[in-house]
A and B are shown apart, each in its own frame.
Chain A
Amino acid sequence: MLAVPMTNPGQGPLLEIQDLKTHFPMRGNPFSRTKSVVKAVDGVSFTVQPGETLGLVGESGCGKTTLGRSIVRLEQPTSGQVLFEGRDLRDLPPKEMKRVRRDIQMIFQDPKGSLDPRMRVSEIVGEGLAVQDTVPRNDRDELVSEMLAVVGLRKEYLHRYPHEFSGGQRQRIGIARALMLHPKLVIADEAVSALDVSVQSQVLNLLADLQRDFQLTYVFIAHDLSVVEYISDRVGVMYLGKIVEIAPAGELYANPLMPYSQALLSAIPGGPRTRGRQRIALRGEVPSPLDPPSGCPFRTRCWKAQDICSSVPPPLVEQEPGHFAACHFAEAI
């Protein structure tokens, strides 16, 4: 096992991912004996402490969404472990798993696509209560309208349909649904990406308030590097199914050690001007996850690549306290 990044070894982590792999077999050529496999998540390990926000960034196809879905088991991991409060979710009997599902909830990107247009707000937000059957039917609407108030929506909205709301309001409905069962861990996948910036800031403020009031732990997945820096305590950078660097947010953004992270962060618009750093132009494009490079996944585009990078996959090792990077030649710019 590679070193598992930990920030606070004294306290048990809420979530611990060990060498998680989620591979998707592709329907290949029937005459070919080799089956092709998309390695969407390919050996990811990290921990999340209670109350922490872990941000995950990366470009499209890096596997960050699959990783989030694998944690809540919307995707079936191929191998590896997802430990929630020390228990491996893969071994849980269905009854136990249903219990744990209350504790792990998800907020999705597109509030339009993730809310059933034929269901009323009361049914959408109260669906978890119905499934878990922990409160009598008659009390559900009362609890739902309390939750609507928590996320800044009026009680009168209870009997309306999703299309009657703006994008920001729909995202609040999605947040209310996620919080209805009082989860401990919330996976937010591009939760504010579809929103205009003035509405995005309202929702970011709401997420911060809820974290404080409900002692939530977030895994915040997004492509917007500035949003992730703002909201996260620690940030992991993904590339081709692997975490290539993970560190406290301020440390990572000020001092990225792995060349891909350096290039990614230098591409933040307005960044080079305000941060006084040169933009690093990447050559080429992300290789196909069907046929990832041997060794380091980034070596085909890396300006530091040597022979060792194609033969030995660089382990994710602690380069500085709390700062892990997977690179044979990790160093600050």
Chain B
Amino acid sequence: MGTDGLANAAPSGTTLLEVRDLHTYFPTRRGVVKAVNGVSFEVEAASSLGIVGESGSGKSVMSLSIMGLIEPPGYIASGSVIFKGRDITGLRDAEMRSIRGREIGLVFQEPMSALNPVYKVGDQVIEALRAHARIGRSEARDRAIELFRLVGIPAPEQRVKEYPRSLSGGMRQRVVIAMAIANNPQLAILDEPTTALDVTTQAQILDLVRDLGERLETAVVLITHDIAVVSEMCSQVIVMYGGRIMERATSAQIVDDPKHPYTVGLISSVPSPELKGQRLRAIDGSVPNPLAMPSGCPFATRCPNVMEQCAAMPPTVTLNDRRQVACWLFQ
């Protein structure tokens, strides 16, 4: 538990999570939305991976797929999610619950949706603890207070007795993070954890996540639309578009030397002080209707380098600098 309980941690360098050719579909009256359309990646123990994408890129559906939280009629059409060598793709709810919250912690954008408004926040952390470990109430209470202290909530003895509504957005997100790490998980998945927060609060929460990831040796998967957040937090970055991975590289490679035309467009769309007075190199058009995605490369309709081959999905290739790109320009 806490800072000393590292028994749960896997040695770094080993593969903790592996996503293999995952496809998650949502049938609608007007056709099938292929929200995740062939995504593969691995997460090593005690590492940090950022997943960036704009709305409709499939990044959130992917995280829900990993956690077995896809609501019908959505379903995982093919592919698998392997956690610590075990295929957890089709697990039954009860089995999945023993992994969620114990071995994989979850943090979502809106902390209020993860907290029950009618229970005291301390009781909710105690419940999270007791759901996965056989400990008594008073021991769980002590741990909850310790967790609150760990996530930087001042006066934890008082705060455990409060209801979510009397906490600020930043404090609520700290409570959710306390719940996510309560059982010392090996993997934490954070989906837009700071998007609803002010920038100074965001900085505090990001510092906390980075610090906890290092201290508890928890692998962190951070999903966000904000490339600046990812570049600050994660060593490796995956760029998603139209349900597929466009590029995977180190965050320095992504920010300073993007290769895929979509990544190039994304990076040069971000306003920076150096570009003041100049036009931004925007990406033309907008994300295609999810029901009418191009059959080949999903970025083909907006790509400045589009070619004939783009009608077929390009395979992912690994370049000399070890980055992976899915684009015919690099075949």
Q: B247-283, CB under 8 A of A: which get 1 and which 0? A: 0000000010000000001101111110110011111
Task: Tell me if A201 and B273 are in contact (CB < 8 A).
Answer: no
Task: Tell me if A281 and B207 are in contact (CB < 8 A).
Answer: yes
| Nearest 10 pairs of A and B residues by beta carbon | A230-B271, A270-B228, A267-B203, A201-B269, A201-B282, A196-B54, A59-B198, A198-B283, A201-B280, A269-B228
Contacts of B199 in A (CB 8 A): 59, 223, 225, 264, 267-269
By CB atoms of chain B within 10 A, which of A197, A201, A263, A268 has the most?
A197
In the bound assembly, the distance between CA atoms of A279 and B280 in angstroms comes to: 27
**Closest chain B residue, CB of each to CB of A232:** B276
Out of B200, B227, B228, B286, name the residue touching A168 (CB < 8 Å). B286
Task: Tell me if B225 and A197 are in contact (CB < 8 A).
Answer: yes
**Given A198-B269, A199-B286 in contact, is the A281-B280 Cβ separation under 8 Å?**
no
B114 within 8 A of A: no
A-B contact pairs, 26 of them (CB 8 A): A59-B200, A196-B54, A196-B225, A197-B227, A197-B270, A200-B269, A201-B270, A201-B271, A201-B281, A202-B284, A204-B271, A205-B279, A230-B272, A230-B276, A231-B271, A250-B276, A263-B200, A264-B199, A266-B203, A267-B200, A267-B202, A268-B228, A269-B228, A270-B255, A271-B228, A282-B200
In the bound assembly, the distance between CA atoms of A223 and B3 in angstroms comes to: 35
Task: Tell me if A253 and B273 are in contact (CB < 8 A).
Answer: yes
Task: Tell me if A269 and B226 are in contact (CB < 8 A).
Answer: yes
By CB atoms of chain A within 10 A, which of B54, B201, B269, B275 has the most?
B269
User: Would you give the shortest CB distance from A281 to chain B, in whole angstroms?
Assistant: 6
Out of B55, B204, B228, B284, name the residue touching A282 (CB < 8 Å). B204
In the bound assembly, the distance between CA atoms of A152 and B79 in angstroms comes to: 42
Task: Tell me if A202 and B282 are in contact (CB < 8 A).
Answer: yes
A: which residues have CB within 8 A of B? 59-60, 166, 168-169, 196-202, 204-205, 208, 223, 225-227, 229-231, 249-250, 253, 263-264, 266-273, 279, 281-282, 285
Contacts of A226 in B (CB 8 A): 228, 270-273
User: Would you give the shortest CB distance from A28 to chain B, in whole angstroms?
Assistant: 19
Sorting the interface of chain B by its residue count into under 10, 10 to 19, 20 to 34 or 35 or more gives 35 or more
B: which residues have CB within 8 A of A? 54-55, 168, 170-171, 198-204, 206-207, 225-229, 231-232, 255, 265-266, 268-273, 275-276, 279-284, 286-287
Out of A169, A198, A272, A285, name the residue touching B266 (CB < 8 Å). A198
Task: Tell me if A229 and B200 are in contact (CB < 8 A).
Answer: no
In the bound assembly, the distance between CA atoms of A267 and B197 in angstroms comes to: 12
Contacts of B168 in A (CB 8 A): 285
Task: Tell me if B273 and A205 are in contact (CB < 8 A).
Answer: no
User: Would you give the shortest CB distance from A170 to chain B, in whole angstroms?
Assistant: 11
**Given A205-B279, A269-B226, A270-B229 in contact, is the A279-B207 Cβ separation under 8 Å?**
yes
User: Would you give the shortest CB distance from A70 to chain B, in whole angstroms?
Assistant: 22
Contacts of A281 in B (CB 8 A): 203-204, 207
In the bound assembly, the distance between CA atoms of A200 and B271 in angstroms comes to: 9
User: Would you give the shortest CB distance from B303 to chain A, in whole angstroms?
Assistant: 12
Task: Tell me if B283 and A229 are in contact (CB < 8 A).
Answer: no
**Given A168-B286, A197-B54, A225-B199 in contact, is the A269-B206 Cβ separation under 8 Å?**
yes
In the bound assembly, the distance between CA atoms of A204 and B270 in angstroms comes to: 10
Contacts of B232 in A (CB 8 A): 269-270, 272-273
Contacts of B225 in A (CB 8 A): 196-197
Out of B200, B268, B279, B283, name the residue touching A208 (CB < 8 Å). B279
User: Would you give the shortest CB distance from A77 to chain B, in whole angstroms?
Assistant: 25
By CB atoms of chain B within 10 A, which of A204, A227, A268, A285 has the most?
A285
Contacts of B54 in A (CB 8 A): 196-198
Contacts of B206 in A (CB 8 A): 269
In the bound assembly, the distance between CA atoms of A229 and B82 in angstroms comes to: 44
Contacts of B286 in A (CB 8 A): 166, 168-169, 198-199
